[in-house]
């Protein structure tokens, strides 16, 4: 086999190996958005994404302006679960992630209702 064919094959193999990370990157996408309530952005909310088919999960936290971003998600259908202190949790049944694209999904959570406990006049037990 001529020497130049060996070099050509080596170069082709190296190019193929180098393209694998790029191909992997194109198979992933992201979900981003903003979490708000009736007063504005919700900071430190947890956004969990679960791939409906594989069960793989990812988590992101919102910043001070309520923005979150879940990156490097394999393409497919995801369900989102949002939790934030002082707020009701929120479940989003389906968000589609496409390869090489960012899906935008802004969400609004409700503030949790405050309930009060009324004491009925019971006195704490005292030591005897």
**The pLDDT value given to residue 6:** 80
Q: Cα 127 to chain center, whole Å?
A: 52
**The pLDDT value given to residue 37:** 96
CA distance 49 to 72: 12
**The pLDDT value given to residue 20:** 66
Locate the DSSP E strands across the chain: 28-37, 40-41, 46-51, 57-61, 67-74, 76-83, 90-97, 102-104, 107-108
pLDDT tens, per residue, the chain with 128 residues = 788 888 788 888 888 777 665 555 458 999 999 999 999 999 999 999 999 999 999 999 999 999 999 999 999 999 999 999 999 999 999 999 999 999 999 999 999 886 655 655 555 556 55
Residue 118: CB partners within 8 Å, gap ≥ 6?
none
Fold of 28-108: Immunoglobulin-like (2.60.40)
**The pLDDT value given to residue 121:** 55
CA angle 20, 25, 27 (to 5 degrees): 100
**In the chain, where the domains are located:** 28-108
CA distance 105 to 54: 21
**The pLDDT value given to residue 118:** 60
């Amino acid at each position: 086999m001529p020497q130049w064919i060996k070099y050509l094959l080596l170069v082709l193999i190296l190019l193929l190996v180098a393209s694998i990370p790029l191909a992997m990157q194109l198979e992933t996408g992201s979900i981003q958005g903003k979490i708000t309530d009736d007063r504005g952005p919700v900071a430190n909310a947890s956004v969990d994404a679960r791939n409906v088919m594989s069960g793989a999960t990812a988590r992101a936290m919102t910043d001070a302006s309520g923005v979150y971003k879940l990156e490097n998600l394999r393409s497919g259908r995801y369900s989102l679960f949002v939790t934030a202190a002082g707020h009701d949790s929120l479940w989003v049944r389906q968000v589609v992630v496409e390869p090489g694209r960012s899906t935008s999904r802004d969400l609004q959570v409700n503030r949790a209702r405050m309930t009060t406990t009324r004491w009925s006049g019971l006195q704490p037990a005292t030591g005897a």
